[in-house]
């Protein structure tokens, strides 16, 4: 397709009038129309079309709970809280930027200074019932601690299930095995992190 | 009346009841599958292999669902209407020869409950009574959609009874008997009614069209036209009461397929095994055609439906009968 066809704003260029018969006026005309349509075999064309599709057996069903359609890599679904690659602790530093930027006001976090004078996140919830999945929280996060994962099914019997931090957090065993999916961006682990970083002595 | 005859008849009644209730269930499964395949879907797949146990699941659901009788309905009539539909469908089965007679352990079985000599009239009459199911159910429901549906149903059933009757007159005149066994014997000797005479073919087509209206199937599905009046007369029904309407509809489809196959397409022919299989094949084809049209054709408007009945089909049927009469005279 050439550029001219796109730049041509005369959108009516390929329109054509559908050949519509005159509307029947008298009863005799209506009768003739019916006879014509009945004899033209339109009904049998319809029958043939569905029969053809049945014989071809070209099924388009996705048996949903068992098989799922692939989802785009940039799809913004339920949040995932990442862990640090080296130590397996939560990556979130409790800066509160995500809570500030959230336009639907669904992120809520509580922090405190722990006994080592480090900031600690005591409570972190995302109300998925209110979340509009705009992606601002993931974009603003300086540590890449909150990202959008590919899990798009939100069903539960209770609303409370939509805010659980533990559900979003990468399971610790997955993090230890290095199965956490990493996303490129500021704060992300570099590709050769395995070779470069030594684990803390406690991990041995 | 001797005891063996009574026992045999009772057994036949029970068998017909059981087989056709089960067939109604299989009919729903079959319909869902065929419609799905024609629309490039898979249909029920989860319960059992290829969804086969869906029938059992549906049955359990219908039987165990709460039986709601809404307030304001006319109780007794509301409760008896589904029974009328199902019962008349099964009563019509009494005069239908389902298979040729066969010998089982030295005992000759006639797979017809009663070979009454007014068989076809009896079937027509009982099927006409089937109208009272939707009519009473809709009128007793205390629901305007049900009421409209009942009125529509009455109009359609009564109108298409006329076409059915007139279409059946032609084979009646040619054969000169009302018993379906005589129909079968005549066609075994003289060829199929639908193809042996041009009048027979026309009346076959007319009867086929009317059968869609009689059973309330899709091109003429105006009794419970889903997109216009919710579920028609069945709106207020739930659980097994609704299930009885359903069984009635599917049993009716099977029985009218049998009637079409026996009256117009030669029935079981000479009564051999091949003839019996042929009859079952014909019936299967007619049943399949009910599903096929549902996938392919749109519903017509009520006024188009009545127009078709009174201005096209009925004159055609009358002319057909007159021509048959003239031919019979000479």
The confidence score (pLDDT) of residue B72 equals 86
Instruction: Please indicate whether residue A181 or residue B91 has the higher confidence score (pLDDT).
Output: B91
Helix axis angle for B54-64 and B3-38, nearest 10°, is: 110
Q: Which residues of B86-116 are buried (b: 16+ CB within 10 A; e: fewer)?
A: bbbbbbbbbbbbbbbeeeeeeeeebbbbeeb
Contact B38 A60 (CB under 8 A): no
User: Per-residue pLDDT tens for A17-45?
Assistant: 888 878 888 989 988 887 888 788 888 88
Task: For residue A154, give how far its alpha carbon lies from the nearest alpha carbon of chain B (Å).
Answer: 22
Instruction: Collect all residues of chain A within an 8 Å Cβ-Cβ radius of residue B311.
Output: 31
Task: For residue A77, give how far its alpha carbon lies from the nearest alpha carbon of chain B (Å).
Answer: 27
State whether ipTM is beyond 0.85: no
Cβ contacts of A132-139, under 8 Å, gap ≥ 24: A132/A103, A132/A104, A133/A76, A133/A77, A134/A76, A134/A103, A134/A104, A135/A76, A136/A98, A136/A101, A136/A102, A136/A103, A137/A79, A137/A97, A137/A98, A137/A101, A137/A102, A137/A107, A138/A76, A138/A79, A138/A98
The confidence score (pLDDT) of residue A101 equals 92
Give B255-272 as a 3 state SS string. Answer: HHHHHHHHHHCCCCCCCC
User: Per-residue pLDDT tens for B42-85?
Assistant: 888 888 888 889 888 988 998 898 888 888 888 899 889 999 98
The whole-angstrom distance between residue A38's C-alpha and the CA centroid of its chain comes to 49
Mean per-residue pLDDT for A86-103?
86
Contact B312 A34 (CB under 8 A): yes
Residue B298 burial (C-beta neighbours within 10 Å; 0-12, 13-18, 19+): exposed
CA-based R_g, chain A, Å: 30
Residue segments in chain B with a per-residue pLDDT below the cut of 50: none
**Pairwise CA distance, residues B223 & B215, whole Å:** 10
Element (H, E) at B35: helix B3-38
Torsion, Cα of B188, B189, B195, B196 (10° steps): -160
Mean pLDDT of chain A: 81
**Interface check B37 vs A, CB under 8 A:** yes
Q: Which residue among A31, A50, A61 places its CB closest to the CB of B41?
A: A61
The confidence score (pLDDT) of residue B68 equals 85
User: Per-residue pLDDT tens for A161-180?
Assistant: 777 777 778 777 777 777 77
Strand partners, A83: A90
Predicted confidence (pLDDT) at residue A204 exceeds the cutoff of 60: no
Instruction: Collect all residues of chain A within an 8 Å Cβ-Cβ radius of residue B293.
Output: 47
The confidence score (pLDDT) of residue B166 equals 92
The confidence score (pLDDT) of residue A1 equals 62
The confidence score (pLDDT) of residue A189 equals 62
Q: Give the tokens for residue A28.
A: 């005799």
């Amino acid at each position: 397709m050439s550029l001219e066809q796109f730049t041509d704003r005369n959108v009516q260029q390929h329109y054509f009038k559908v050949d519509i018969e005159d509307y029947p006026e008298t009863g005799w005309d209506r009768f003739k129309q019916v006879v014509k349509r009945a004899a033209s075999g339109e009904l049998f064309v319809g029958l043939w079309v569905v029969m053809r599709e049945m014989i071809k057996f070209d099924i388009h069903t996705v048996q949903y709970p068992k098989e799922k359609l692939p989802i785009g890599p940039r799809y913004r679904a339920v949040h995932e809280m990442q862990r640090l690659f080296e130590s397996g602790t939560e990556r979130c530093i409790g800066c509160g930027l995500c809570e500030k930027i959230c336009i639907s006001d669904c992120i809520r976090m509580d922090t405190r200074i722990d006994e080592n004078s480090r900031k600690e996140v005591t409570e972190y919830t995302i109300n998925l019932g209110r979340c509009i999945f705009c992606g601002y929280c993931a974009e603003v996060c300086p540590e890449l601690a909150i990202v959008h994962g590919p899990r798009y099914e939100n069903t539960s019997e209770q609303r409370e299930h939509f805010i659980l931090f533990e559900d979003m957090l990468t399971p610790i065993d997955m993090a230890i095995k290095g199965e956490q999916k990493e996303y490129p961006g500021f704060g992300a682990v570099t590709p050769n992190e395995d070779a470069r970083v030594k684990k803390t002595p406690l991990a041995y | 009346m001797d005891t063996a005859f009574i026992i045999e008849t009772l057994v036949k009644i029970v068998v017909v009841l059981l087989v056709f209730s089960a067939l109604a269930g299989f009919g729903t499964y079959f319909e869902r599958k065929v419609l799905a395949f024609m629309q490039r879907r898979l249909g029920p797949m989860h319960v059992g292999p290829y969804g086969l146990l869906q029938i059992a699941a549906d049955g359990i659901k219908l039987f165990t669902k709460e039986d709601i009788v809404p307030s304001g309905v006319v109780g007794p009539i509301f409760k008896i209407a589904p029974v009328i539909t199902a019962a008349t469908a099964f009563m019509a089965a009494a005069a239908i020869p389902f298979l040729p007679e066969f010998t089982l352990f030295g005992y000759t079985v006639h797979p017809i409950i009663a070979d009454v000599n007014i068989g076809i009239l009896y079937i027509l009459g009982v099927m006409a009574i089937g109208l009272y199911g939707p009519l009473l159910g809709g009128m007793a429901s205390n629901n305007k959609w049900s009421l409209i549906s009942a009125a529509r149903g009455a109009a359609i059933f009564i109108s298409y009874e006329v076409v059915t009757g007139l279409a059946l007159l032609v084979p009646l005149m040619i054969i000169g008997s009302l018993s379906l066994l005589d129909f079968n014997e005549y066609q075994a000797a003289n060829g199929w009614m639908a193809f042996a005479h041009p009048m027979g073919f026309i009346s076959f087509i007319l009867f086929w069209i009317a059968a869609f209206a009689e059973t309330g199937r899709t091109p003429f599905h105006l009794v419970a036209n889903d997109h216009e009046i919710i579920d028609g007369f069945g709106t207020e029904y739930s659980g097994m009461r609704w299930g009885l309407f359903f069984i009635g509809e599917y049993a009716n489809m099977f029985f009218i397929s049998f009637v079409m196959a026996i009256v117009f397409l030669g029935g079981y022919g000479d009564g051999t095994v091949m003839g019996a299989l042929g009859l079952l094949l014909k019936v299967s084809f007619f049943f399949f055609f009910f599903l096929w049209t549902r996938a392919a054709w749109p519903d017509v408007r009520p006024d188009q439906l009545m127009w078709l009945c009174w201005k096209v089909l009925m004159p055609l049927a009358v002319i057909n009968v007159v021509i048959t009469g003239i031919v019979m005279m000479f």
